Amino acid sequence: MSNFWFGEGIRKGRKTEKFPFAQPDDPPARPSGLEGSGEPYCPTEAIKNGKWDQGKCIFCRLCEPEYQPTGRQDIFSVKKTEPALKKSFYIYKLDSGTCGACNVELGTIFDPQFDANRLNIFATNSPRHADAIVIMGILAEGMREALKNAYEAMPEPKLIIALGACAISGGILGDSPMVREDYHVEIAGCPPSPYTILEALARARGD
């Protein structure tokens, strides 16, 4: 049987895409950048005074057709990088109150199409071994303590990363676990696409 799986592995060949060293093979329309004008109804006030705040956007389409998705996947911001983490970058995921979709998309960056491991990005099950905490979801009251404990258990230097509209701004569901000023990296989307997550993580450690 082990020969069967060995053969299967070889038979399928390499499936990993070149992204982020080339354009995404199959970028989703939503979430992606948004362009337009005017003041259409927006349930999260992501559009205000003609400006679009990607961290508030839940990509619900209610502002279409005045605003249209561009397909651009680079909807993240990086305030602080840690080049020391280039050779190995361990992330600890923390679900502070998600709908589950952010969890799935974060996991997807380890699937063969994206293979985050080739960029020296790994997931760890312990905050003590983590270089970055990736916070997902709104702040559910029961997770307040777990978030604080995980944060304190991490060694320095540590990066704080918000994944998805809930974590960044509360989105449409509640309050964000931290204020935006405290995040080093914001990865927009509801949920963010694996392309956006992968590139944002790569950039966070100085790529």
Binding site for other proteins (CB under 8 A): 1, 4-6, 8-9, 12, 15, 26, 28-30, 43, 58-62, 92-105, 107-108, 110-113, 123-126, 137-138, 140-143, 146-147, 150, 171-174, 190-191, 193-194
Q: Determine the angle formed by the axes of helices 101-108 and 194-204, rounding to 10 degrees.
A: 70
Q: First CA to last CA across the chain, in angstroms? A: 41
Q: In the numeric block, which tokens belong to residue 180?
A: 């935006």
**Between 85 and 102, whose beta carbon lies closer to other proteins?**
102
In Å, the largest CA–CA distance within the chain is: 62
Query: Contact, 187 vs 76, CB < 8 A?
Result: yes
Report the SS3 class of residue 173: coil
Measured distance CA(162)–CA(202) in Å, rounded: 15
Q: By rule CB under 6 A, what string of x and - marks binding of each residue 87-126 to ligand SF4?
A: -----------xx-xx------------------------
# residues near ligand SF4 by CB under 6 A: 27
Q: What are phi and psi of 206, to 5 degrees?
A: 90, 15
| Strand duo 89-97 + 132-137: pairing | parallel
Here's the x/- map for ligand SF4, 122-161, by CB under 6 A: it reads as --------------xx------------------------
Q: What is the DSSP string of 19-51?
A: TTSS--SS--SSSS-EEE-S----TT--EETTE
From the list other proteins, ligand SF4, none, partner contacted by residue 46 (C-beta under 5 to 8 A by kind)? ligand SF4
Q: What's the min distance (Å) between Cβ of 105 and other proteins?
A: 8
Long-range contacts of 144-148 (CB under 8 A, 24+ apart): 146/94, 146/96, 147/94, 147/96, 147/177
Q: Which is nearer to ligand SF4, 33 or 206 (CB)?
A: 33
Does 171 interact with ligand SF4 (rule: CB under 6 A)? yes
Least separation, in Å, of the C-beta of 69 and other proteins?
A: 8
Q: Is 46 in the site for ligand SF4 (CB under 6 A)?
A: yes
Report the interface residues with ligand SF4, using CB under 6 A: 34, 42, 44, 46-47, 52, 57-63, 67, 98-99, 101-102, 136-137, 164-166, 171, 173, 190-191
